Amino acid sequence: GDSVTQMEGPVTLSEEAFLTINCTYTATGYPSLFWYVQYPGEGLQLLLKATKADDKGSNKGFEATYRKETTSFHLEKGSVQVSDSAVYFCALSDRGGGSNYKLTFGKGTLLTVNP
């Protein structure tokens, strides 16, 4: 079945540091890939997405590139801010496999950015 593996946290960085959160996936079909962010006490918000190989999703300074050859979708940001402190979830939706298009989530990575 489909699965998503993301780096375990917590991740603690200083403001303006470079961020990478690794995400790899397994899927039987042709997945779309997503990063969601959850701020404390809130629901999940879509951060960015990519629907096919080599697509790059970007939003709010975050980027992730859909790499089919390495089955990866790593999240990066060049200079994090305190306001980026949140839990980040990688997810996939498999359009061609047996998952009936449901989202499969990674377990989440807690990011804390210190001033």
Size of the site for another protein (CB under 8 A): 20
Give min distance, CB of 13 to another protein, in A. Answer: 22
Cis peptide upstream of residue 31 (ω within 30 degrees of 0) = no
- Which of these segments, 10-18, 19-27, 29-37, 59-67, binds another protein (CB under 8 A)? 29-37
Query: For the chain, where are the E strands, in sequence order?
Result: 3-6, 11-14, 19-21, 23-26, 31-38, 44-50, 56-59, 62-65, 75-77, 86-94, 103-105, 109-114
- Which of these segments, 12-20, 42-50, 58-66, 67-75, binds another protein (CB under 8 A)? 42-50
Give min distance, CB of 98 to another protein, in A. Answer: 13
